[in-house]
A and B are shown apart, each in its own frame.
Chain A
Amino acid sequence: MNKNFGSHFLAVGSLTAAVEPAVSRVPGRESVRATTLANGLKIIVWPVHDIPNVALNNWVRAGSRNEAPGITGLAHFFEHMMFNGTTRRQPGEFDRLMEAQGGANNAFTSDDVTVYQDWFPRNALELVLDLESDRVANLAFVPTVIESERGVVYSERRLRVEDNNQGMLSEQVQATAFVAHPYRFPTIGWPADIQSWRMEDLQKFFKTYYAPNNLTLVLAGDLVPERVFELARRYFEAIPRQEPPVEVRTQEPEQLGERQFVIRRKAQTPLLQYAYKAPAGADARGPAVNLLLSILVDGDSSRLHRALVEEKQLAIEVGGHWQEGFDPGLLWLFLTLPEGSEVNEVQSAVDAELEGIAEHGVTDAELARAKNMTAAGFWKKLATIDGKAQLLGEYEVFHGDWLKLFDAPAQVDRVTLAEVQAVAREILDKRRRTVGVLLPEEGDLTQEEEAA
């Protein structure tokens, strides 16, 4: 037990001059404490005393991956419902009480998880644990509140998908990339499902997934771990454990050929998205996959940005994302093209770049750059209590052990040129990709014609 708060930081500060290649020693391993309650709830605490605040994340292992036709979007809807009252507290009281003690909160849902986030002054710790446990133990299902929240979620869908060409295209790409696995469902939900969830769908989902044995609580900030554990026992331990949720058994069958489609929308700029089948987040090749993605799209010196945006000026923006979920998922490339683009020409240029990497690999300089950018990004995250809580949670939930966080920089350092080329060859395979193109509607008036 290390009671010398903050000492690990000072120690690292004095060592920085000696840290030469990429920084690989991560402070904090000695001060993080974890415990598991009798009902299966795991709690991880990272005491950090730089500011008198705390970041808390409650990780729920439920995402759109746990849905089925008819109830798509339900995990995300739950994210909303969790703020809407319990049998002990009126709708709105959760936020009212938390804000009155200086706390703020939010939440997000993905294909794999739902995460509830609170940021509060240290003296609000007991209240926040009370509120968080209350909504897990006693969530209320009030029909009028459910109807009102349906409207809110639909408004979010309009914002992110229906009035958003990027969002509309990626929803279609995702739905096309998977034929069997529930990763095909949009996290926000299909419109008809948003309109028609039933009370019993909600109750069943809640009982299954919002059980203590399916949650992980992560706190970072101005805390004493023993005090957190004591309060957690007081507020959470009485919540009964449930049968573990049914495993997602479906495995996406091997994709046998490229899938490609074009949609037409009101637009000025065409869009091009690629989704390649990629490994699960915990795959041993993970660090190599992330470095490959960084080499492709991270920063203005990345391969695709330089070739397509700067040199050939075929695109105005290039981005990418690897899902890193529980199951094998997707590695995405997103391109925004200038008005009037010949999309075929852009696709040929993208293919030439990707084939080049699969064939010839990447350079030493590219790999070194990606490693340095990864290291700097890691440190930037570690600089805040919010970043610390997020990283601990990610490693615990997706990699099976928060301790692995502290080896992450060393894992990245060890990746070789050959390993990056190997994952490039495997992942950047045309037969295992889905390509979505969004073009302006035919017959759209251009601005010049309209003004004339």
Chain B
Amino acid sequence: MSIAGGNVGSYGGSVIAPPGLVNAHVNGVNVPAHERVVLANGMTLIVMPRHDIPLVSFNAVLRGGESAGAPGKSGVASLVAGLLEKGAGKRDAFAFVDAVEGVGGTFNAAAGPESIAVRGQFLARDQRLMLELLADALLRPRFKLEELENLRARQIELIKAAKDSDPAELIGTYGRAYLFRGHPFARPVIGSEASLAGITHRDIVDYYHAHFRADQLTLVVAGDVDSAWLKRAVAKAFSDWPRSNRPMATLPQPARIRERSVLLVDSPGSVQTYFWIGNVGVDRHYADRAALDLANTLYGGRFTSILNTELRVKSGLSYGARSGFTRGSVAGEFAIRSFAQTQDTGKALDLALQTLAQLKNGAVTAEMLDSARAYVLGQYPLDFETAMDWTVALGEIELYGLGSGYIEDYGAQLQSVTLPQMQSVIETAFPPPDEVAIVLIGDAAELREQVGRYGPITEMPLTHSDFDGNARRA
């Protein structure tokens, strides 16, 4: 099997600056020269040589992720990913990590809602070893039962530890579980204490055989790499990997909620309430992405945002407040996150909801639009500084089928956004304040009275072994 020559070529025929020279402008970012090839078995390889620093980075993106798992088995993709590093090919778990770290490399596999990404970085001199380890992990993982048991037990305890020391870190997981009830996006990527405990060795092996297929993988390599060698070596290492025998299921479009309700996660003795306010937003292919990013920048995406100004700068209620859209192959969530001391919870929630109403009622001006435009354009090149940044960006473009215009046309799109366009995005993509899910982690005994006015409350203890409030009522 060899590289299918017909697919060789760079994205979109754009004019590319040679590496090492200025490749980005205030008006946007150009994608540096790279090659994209598709092997006969359907695997995609992208190579971007950059010889500024003697490091090579890779990002292997495999479609599926947590959403491809089964209901009740949340965390299966994370465990599969974690086990890829726990013994593969001729190396057991210790030998594998010794091989990586012995040469100063990194190698990390992690699941997301729609993919598993294996990422790493090696000194350029070690690129052969890097490829050998990656091929072993993807093609020849050992999946030893004992390693599964250890990893699963540890993952369960790490969730408990996060509940003890970092409740704000988990609030998005509670938020998604509550908002997307019945949709695969509800399933926590990290798993829950209960779901992890129920995952068997069979589940791991079944997931692997169903989803680890050549045509589901994009491998991006960037940095101080010999691209001719790499193309040959990848073709050799991966050529025997079979294609999938069934098409990847597409996800159903999640439905927006039309009422306001509250999930109250009880953390007795907590001195602060961590909150999340969300609804279903938009997807990766959303046509008005530039206007959306500008609107969110103004609403909750930077320090002077409307949200942070009210909750932090003017009132001193909180250390910070942010908002953002998570966009998948189908719509992910729009969410606000912040926190305030327990007795000020109602005050902070009122302010947050008021800012949402203000946004919908035309708080944004032409001057604000220009400021947001300058901000997003000014910060954008910082996302594409390193070889690792490029492997991540190109992997994402492949996963969602976005095309290089997603990066290269973004500057021009930002330049052309008008106030009416932004207002229309605010109208349609941001939820009204009476159509949101409100999720709170805090001291329920102190909060019930304060938050009853926002809608019906579902309550669950923080120590509950699932993130889904319904699990307890059922």
Residue contact A450 to B463, C-beta cutoff 8 Å? yes
Q: Tell me the minimal C-beta distance from B95 to chain A in angstroms.
A: 10
Q: Is A141 an interface residue (CB 8 A)?
A: no
Residue contact A148 to B315, C-beta cutoff 8 Å? yes
Residue contact B314 to A148, C-beta cutoff 8 Å? yes
User: How large, as a class, is the contact surface on chain B?
Assistant: 35 or more
Residue contact B271 to A162, C-beta cutoff 8 Å? yes
Using A52-B381, A99-B303, A155-B340 as known contacts, say yes or no to A13 and B121 having CB atoms under 8 A apart: no
Question: Closest residue of chain B to A148, judged by CB?
Answer: B316
Q: Which of B51, B315, B379, B384 contacts A10 (CB 8 A)?
A: B51
Q: Tell me the interface secondary structure of chain A in the complex.
A: helix
A-facing residues in B42-66 (Cβ within 8 Å): 51-55
Using A9-B53, A16-B124, A150-B316 as known contacts, say yes or no to A447 and B464 having CB atoms under 8 A apart: yes
Residue contact A9 to B104, C-beta cutoff 8 Å? no
A105 to B300, CA, bound (A): 16
Q: Which residues of A contact B378 (CB under 8 A)?
A: 53, 101-104, 120-121, 124
Other A-B contacts than A102-B26, A158-B272, A365-B98, 19 sampled, CB-CB below 8 A, are: A10-B20, A12-B54, A50-B23, A51-B384, A52-B24, A95-B303, A95-B304, A103-B378, A104-B303, A104-B375, A121-B377, A155-B340, A158-B341, A266-B164, A299-B101, A310-B150, A339-B160, A369-B98, A383-B386
B-facing residues in A400-443 (Cβ within 8 Å): none
Q: Which residues of B contact A36 (CB under 8 A)?
A: none
Q: Is B205 an interface residue (CB 8 A)?
A: no
The segment from A194-202, A238-246, A254-262, A372-380 that touches chain B is A372-380
The segment from B165-173, B239-247, B276-284, B355-363 that touches chain A is B165-173
Q: Which residues of B contact A123 (CB under 8 A)?
A: 26
Q: Which residues of A contact B461 (CB under 8 A)?
A: 447, 450
Residue contact B312 to A52, C-beta cutoff 8 Å? no
Residue contact A6 to B51, C-beta cutoff 8 Å? no
Residue contact B271 to A104, C-beta cutoff 8 Å? no
A-facing residues in B251-275 (Cβ within 8 Å): 267-272
Q: Which residues of B contact A266 (CB under 8 A)?
A: 164, 267-269
Contact with B along A161-203 (1 / 0, CB 8 A): 0111111000000000000000000000000000000000000
Of A105, A155, A156, A300, most buried by chain B (CB within 10 Å of CB) is A155
A150 to B341, CA, bound (A): 13
Q: Tell me the interface secondary structure of chain B in the complex.
A: mixed
Residue contact A374 to B104, C-beta cutoff 8 Å? yes
Q: Is A110 an interface residue (CB 8 A)?
A: no
Q: Which of B154, B388, B463 contacts A447 (CB 8 A)?
A: B463
Q: Tell me the minimal C-beta distance from B54 to chain A in angstroms.
A: 4
A204 to B159, CA, bound (A): 45
Q: Is B140 an interface residue (CB 8 A)?
A: no
The 4 closest A-B pairs by CB, nearest first: A102-B378, A372-B104, A13-B51, A151-B316
Question: Closest residue of chain B to A84, judged by CB?
Answer: B313
Q: Is A142 an interface residue (CB 8 A)?
A: no
Q: Tell me the minimal C-beta distance from A442 to chain B in angstroms.
A: 14
Q: Is B302 an interface residue (CB 8 A)?
A: yes
Q: Which residues of B contact A263 (CB under 8 A)?
A: none
Q: Which of A50, A124, A310 contacts B93 (CB 8 A)?
A: A310
Q: Which residues of B contact A147 (CB under 8 A)?
A: 316
Residue contact B101 to A155, C-beta cutoff 8 Å? no
Q: Which of B267, B341, B386 contacts A155 (CB 8 A)?
A: B341
Q: Tell me the minimal C-beta distance from B69 to chain A in angstroms.
A: 23
A-facing residues in B408-448 (Cβ within 8 Å): none
Where the two chains meet, the residues of B that have a C-beta atom closer than 8 Å to any C-beta of A are 20-26, 51-55, 85, 93-94, 97-98, 100-106, 121-125, 150, 153-154, 157-158, 160-161, 163-168, 224, 267-272, 302-304, 309, 312-319, 339-341, 370-371, 374-375, 377-379, 381-382, 384-388, 461, 463-465
Residue contact A159 to B302, C-beta cutoff 8 Å? no
Residue contact A53 to B304, C-beta cutoff 8 Å? no
Q: Is A368 an interface residue (CB 8 A)?
A: yes
Q: Tell me the minimal C-beta distance from B260 to chain A in angstroms.
A: 25
Some 27 contacts from A to B, beta carbons below 8 A apart, are A23-B54, A100-B374, A104-B302, A105-B303, A120-B378, A147-B316, A148-B313, A152-B312, A154-B341, A159-B168, A159-B339, A162-B272, A164-B166, A299-B97, A299-B101, A309-B154, A310-B150, A316-B158, A336-B161, A371-B104, A372-B103, A376-B105, A379-B53, A380-B121, A383-B52, A383-B386, A450-B461
Using A99-B304, A316-B161 as known contacts, say yes or no to A52 and B54 having CB atoms under 8 A apart: no
Q: Which residues of A contact B375 (CB under 8 A)?
A: 99-100, 102-104
Using A14-B51, A50-B52, A52-B24 as known contacts, say yes or no to A368 and B102 having CB atoms under 8 A apart: yes
Q: Tell me the minimal C-beta distance from B155 to chain A in angstroms.
A: 9
Q: Is A313 an interface residue (CB 8 A)?
A: yes
Q: Tell me the minimal C-beta distance from A294 to chain B in angstroms.
A: 10
A165 to B268, CA, bound (A): 14
B-facing residues in A374-396 (Cβ within 8 Å): 374-377, 379-380, 382-386
Q: Which residues of B contact A14 (CB under 8 A)?
A: 51
Q: Which of A9, A91, A150 contacts B313 (CB 8 A)?
A: A91
Q: Tell me the minimal C-beta distance from A152 to chain B in angstroms.
A: 5
Residue contact B272 to A159, C-beta cutoff 8 Å? yes
Residue contact B165 to A301, C-beta cutoff 8 Å? no
Contact with B along A107-131 (1 / 0, CB 8 A): 0000000000001110110000000
Q: Is A49 an interface residue (CB 8 A)?
A: yes
Of B158, B268, B302, B316, most buried by chain A (CB within 10 Å of CB) is B316
Q: Tell me the minimal C-beta distance from B389 to chain A in angstroms.
A: 9
Residue contact A20 to B102, C-beta cutoff 8 Å? no
Q: Tell me the minimal C-beta distance from A441 to chain B in angstroms.
A: 9
A16 to B377, CA, bound (A): 34
Q: Tell me the minimal C-beta distance from A357 to chain B in angstroms.
A: 18
A60 to B154, CA, bound (A): 41
Q: Tell me the minimal C-beta distance from B142 to chain A in angstroms.
A: 15
Using A6-B20, A100-B375, A372-B102 as known contacts, say yes or no to A339 and B54 having CB atoms under 8 A apart: no
